[in-house]
Amino acid sequence: MASVASPNRPELVCPAGTPAALRSAVDAGADCVYVGFRDETNARNFPGLNFNRKELAEGIAYAHERGAKVLVAINTFPRAGQPEIWHQAVADAAKLKADAAILADIGLIEHAHRAHPELRLHLSVQAAASNPDAIRFYAERFGVRRVVLPRVLTVQEIAAVNARIAPVETEVFVFGGLCVMAEGRCALSSYATGQSPNMNGVCSPAGEVRYTETSQGITSELGGFTINKFAHDEPAGYPTLCKGRFIAKDKASYLFEEPTSLNTLSMLPDLVKAGVTAFKIEGRQRGRAYVAAVVQAFRAGVDAVMAGKPLPDIDLDRITEGGKQTTGAYEKAWR
């Protein structure tokens, strides 16, 4: 049975892109599951993914019966003149008794705060609140209770933030795909393809991806731009724009970031010490087997830290992007 988060027991917040993944996450020990509606109101607006209203109601019932919470991500930025589907998403999250809505747009947060005062509000990573002044603004003006921190801060900086924003809670990403740009402040995808996380809930959208076979191997493209080239014996990775190889100063390199996944299992004790309330796993686009494996690993990790035991040695290599892992911005050297 999942308990309420406390300084002694951080919540494990797990992704679910489908009802099956939601059940897998809850069964594997998730304290919270986060989901989105099947439209452009959330930042994982991918074909075949996400929940309709009935599925959400059933998912919430399944989770609540097992002591877990469901958070609904409504974290894109409403279109000018057409806020209706975003307002409806917030209204439905409140009506279906989601445990919180995760929002990014200031106007939408103001709307939710006014129209649904009973709905607990979390600030999405897409709002990129990177300092105590920004966080206090969202808390004081809109009653935001928890902030998902952008992946730009070191563990030391996270501890300093937490010391200044109580009782506002922080949630940090501990595993999965990672943005190397401040989240919600990146228009690279729309520059290449016309579609962006902020406007459309997609980054490097699949419809703009092309793989071309050449005599040297495979070229991956996004919006007509070459993002990477692979030899015949190399696996051709997905062309996420910021994980591509580019030429700068006459040198080809992974200029922004290598194809890699965040994995902070080894840093859990430090993150607990830094006062983080919740640990978030990325991957609503992933299958239930992935979700189950990662949730189990982090459940064991968090429980070990709380019991004062050594961290379990769990190898997550086989499910990370390109088999590579990083602790990202949590360590200063990453910058």
24 vs 200, beta carbon nearer other proteins: 200
Q: How far is the CB of 45 from other proteins (least distance, A)?
A: 15
Q: How far is the CB of 238 from other proteins (least distance, A)?
A: 16
Binding residues for other proteins (CB under 8 A): 77-81, 83, 104-108, 110-111, 127-134, 136-137, 141, 152-153, 157, 160, 180-182, 184-188, 190-194, 196, 198-199, 219, 223, 225-229, 245-249, 251-253, 255-257, 329, 332-335
Asked if residue 14 belongs to a known ligand binding site, the reply is no
* HEC-encoded secondary structure of 255-318: CCCCCCEEECHHHHHHHHHCCCCEEEECCCCCCHHHHHHHHHHHHHHHHHHHCCCCCCCCCCHH
166 vs 247, beta carbon nearer other proteins: 247
**Amino acid (1-letter code) at residue 224:** G
Query: CA-to-CA distance for 25 and 27, rounded, in angstroms?
Result: 5
Encode 71-99: b = buried (16+ Cβ within 10 Å), e = exposed.
bbbbbbbbeeeeeeebbebbebbbebebb
Q: Which of 31, 44, 101 is nearest to 286 (CA)?
A: 44
**Mode of pairing for the β-strands spanning 121-123 and 251-253:** unpaired
Q: How far is the CB of 288 from other proteins (least distance, A)?
A: 32
CA distances to 118, 219, 237, 251, 256 from 234, rounded to whole Å, are 52, 11, 9, 21, 21
Asked if residue 179 belongs to a known ligand binding site, the reply is yes
237 vs 306, beta carbon nearer other proteins: 237
Q: How far is the CB of 269 from other proteins (least distance, A)?
A: 23
Q: Which of 300, 304, 302 is nearest to 315 (CA)?
A: 300
Query: CA-to-CA distance for 156 and 332, rounded, in angstroms?
Result: 9
CA distances to 127, 129, 176 from 262, rounded to whole Å, are 20, 20, 5
**Mode of pairing for the β-strands spanning 217-222 and 209-213:** antiparallel
177 vs 223, beta carbon nearer other proteins: 223
Q: How far is the CB of 315 from other proteins (least distance, A)?
A: 27
157 vs 303, beta carbon nearer other proteins: 157
127, 138 in Cβ contact below 8 A? yes
Q: How far is the CB of 144 from other proteins (least distance, A)?
A: 12
129 vs 302, beta carbon nearer other proteins: 129
Q: How far is the CB of 89 from other proteins (least distance, A)?
A: 14
Asked if residue 32 belongs to a known ligand binding site, the reply is no
4 vs 80, beta carbon nearer other proteins: 80
Q: Which residues are annotated as a binding site?
A: 179, 186, 203, 242
Q: Which residues are annotated as a binding site for [4Fe-4S] cluster?
A: 179, 186, 203, 242
